[in-house]
Amino acid sequence: MASTAATGLSDGDFIRFAEYFYKRTGIHFAAGKRYFVDKRIDTCIRNSPYDTFAAWFAALRTSDQGPMLQELINQLTVNETYFLREDYQFDAMLSTVLPNVLAARGGVGRIVGPVKILSLPCSTGEEPYSIALRLLEEWDQIDHVDVEIHGADIDSEVLAKAAHASYGERSVQRVPKAWMNKYFAAVGAGRYQVDEGIRSAVTLHKVNICDTAAMRSFRDFDIVFCRNVLIYFDELSSRRAAENLYGAMRPGGYLFLGHSESMSRISPIFTPTRLPEGLVYQRPTGAK
Amino acid sequence: MGLVRKQAPQEPEEALPEGPSAEILLSRLDDPDPDRRRESALGLVGAPEAVPAMLARVGVEEDPRVLESMLTTLAAYDTEDVAGGLAVHLASDEAGLRTAVAAALATMPRSFPAVLPSLLAAPDHDVRVMTAMILADLQHPEAHTWLVRMICQDPHPNVVTGAIDALLPSATTDDVQLLLDARERFPDDPFLRFTVNAALPRLTGTP
């Protein structure tokens, strides 16, 4: 049986761990992620009072939702965000979702009110500004349709950074040079600020996605990006977040989750829809 | 046309108007508009006086989305009264209701243990199968132990198979003998035999 030197994880241990972690978070680690996982488990074990994987894993399973699991999740999830992250979903927005939204709302020229897009959580703003860039540069209807982009997050500090919209080179490394020249200004120390026109077009809000009362003011969104956050919630909080997202969306509206997340494991209220670019969830059109 | 800012920038948590009272929300649970019922059910979080009325509606609510929102609100209480009020629906003839209630009970680790003994003793073996499903997702340190007990003691092969299925994600080599004993107890049940045989290679580390 193979094992790694650092953790002593056998192949069987890894499979059991991967199944456990998938069950608790929805994140699946295939064998190809072995090195990544082993290193982080090793860190967790070193930070714990346990000497071996077996003892640590037994304690983890016993304590379950406690701080051990949280530390593990923190180790095994990448919190870094950047412009145009998981942009196959932006491809889906442009090629399939927006045409469907326009068609459902009467078509260009007859649509009443703006198309509304929500990024929640928006963190330091990379996601809503990425949406803006993709729309401005690649959506042929942008001059014919009003679009509102909203970003929301529970953290006021990240919202302040989102409002300032100044980013380091690592964050903007996927932005094409032509777009950088057009929409960013160098502000020194290797940082680049998003152009005022885009900054002022994005509306930022502080909100807790699990707070039903606060989420009541979010209504009629056609497209919602809620990526890589539900995995941090327990099952009940995920259910309430899903209900609140449902309430924020227009019937027929589209919800994008992170690639490792599944609404099917949280709530049956959305309808999964397979697009050429991947899976998206819709608020059923039959519901008011 | 193009990117536009919302005309009246909003600060949701500051400018939010006072929501309707629990009394009004309760009356809206009978509203003919399912979306209004759904929003009322969600709005009743933090209103314990609404719990009995919501529990009474669980069995009669016909819209699955409204039912989901009621269960989301009720499960947040995680009290024995709520768990008991929900558990009775595990015997329902309606699969959608049974499954929705089971999913809600699986999010109630504080109170579910109180109703577990009566569920394990339920004469309807389908209720016991649902109980195993709940234990599969219940985040409770004793869940594994309760599943082991079901596997050892339940007289119905479908319940034992369901409990084995629920146990497998957290099973280790320590559970191999448990599975072998279950297979021996029901030698003529092909589904149980298949479940155990499929699990053993992974647990023993042999092909």
Q: Is B142 a member of any domain?
A: yes
Q: Is B115 a member of any domain?
A: yes
The reported pLDDT for the residue numbered B90 is 97
Q: Is B61 a member of any domain?
A: no
CA quadruple A28, A238, A218, B39: dihedral positive or negative? positive
Residue type, B25: L
pLDDT digits (tens, 9 = 90+) for B26-51: 999 999 999 999 999 999 998 999 99
CA distance A262 to B48: 31
What lies within 8 Å, CB to CB, of A49 at 6+ separation is none
Residues of B in contact with A63 (CB under 8 A): 141
Q: Is B66 a member of any domain?
A: no
For chain B, give percent helix, strand, coil, nearest 5. Answer: 70, 0, 30
Tell me if chain A has a CB within 8 Å of the CB of B190.
Answer: no
Domains A11-76 and A88-282 share a fold: no
Q: How many CA atoms lie within 13 A of B128 on its CB side?
A: 24
CB-neighbour burial class of residue B160 (10 A; exposed 0-12, middle 13-18, buried 19+): buried
Q: Is B192 a member of any domain?
A: yes
What lies within 8 Å, CB to CB, of A53 at 6+ separation is A7, A8, A9, A13, A41, A45
Which residue stretches of A139-264 are H helix? 156-164, 177-183, 196-201, 212-215, 235-248
Q: Identify which of A16, A200, A202 has the shortest CB distance to residue B172.
A: A16
Q: Which residue of chain B has the CA closest to A198?
A: B3
CB contact under 8 A, B141 and A62: yes
CB contact under 8 A, A148 and B6: yes
CB contact under 8 A, B169 and A19: yes
Q: Which residue of chain A has the CA closest to B5?
A: A201
Contact (Cβ atoms closer than 8 angstroms) between residue A31 and residue A14: yes
Residue with tokens 């069995």: B59
CB-neighbour burial class of residue B158 (10 A; exposed 0-12, middle 13-18, buried 19+): middle
Tell me if chain A has a CB within 8 Å of the CB of B162.
Answer: no
What torsion, rounded to 10 degrees, do the Cα atoms A60, A61, A66, A72 define? 50
| A221: phi then psi, degrees, rounded to nearest 5 | -80, 135
Tell me if chain A has a CB within 8 Å of the CB of B147.
Answer: no
Interfacial A residues in 127-186 facing B (CB < 8 Å): 132, 135-136, 142-150
CA distance A146 to A154: 27
Q: Is the pLDDT assigned to residue B181 strictly greater than 60?
A: yes
CA distance A40 to A76: 7
CATH homologous superfamily, domain A88-282:
Vaccinia Virus protein VP39 (3.40.50.150)
Annotated domain spans of chain A: 11-76, 88-282
Cα separation of the two ends of chain B: 63
DSSP H or E stretch at residue B128: helix B125-137
CA distance B44 to B39: 9
SS3 A114: coil
Topology adopted by domain A11-76: Chemotaxis Receptor Methyltransferase Cher; domain 1 (1.10.155)
CB contact under 8 A, A287 and B35: yes
| Blockwise average pLDDT, block size 10, chain A, 288 residues | 56 85 63 80 88 89 73 66 90 96 92 95 94 96 95 87 94 94 94 96 91 92 94 82 96 92 88 91 79
What torsion, rounded to 10 degrees, do the Cα atoms B127, A63, B167, B150 define? -50
The reported pLDDT for the residue numbered B12 is 46
Q: Is B83 a member of any domain?
A: no
Q: Is B105 a member of any domain?
A: no
Q: Is the pLDDT assigned to residue B131 strictly greater than 60?
A: yes
Q: Is the pLDDT assigned to residue B60 strictly greater than 70?
A: yes
Domain encompassing residue B142: 110-207
Task: Give the total number of structural domains in chain B.
Answer: 1
DSSP H or E stretch at residue A226: strand A221-226
**How high does pLDDT run on average in chain B?**
92
| A113: phi then psi, degrees, rounded to nearest 5 | 85, 165
Residues of A in contact with B106 (CB under 8 A): 235
**CA-derived radius of gyration, chain B:** 22
CB pairs under 8 A between A and B: 132
The reported pLDDT for the residue numbered A108 is 86
pLDDT digits (tens, 9 = 90+) for B71-122: 999 999 999 999 999 999 999 999 999 999 999 999 999 999 999 999 999 9
Task: Please give the residue that has the higher pLDDT: either B127 or A87.
Answer: B127
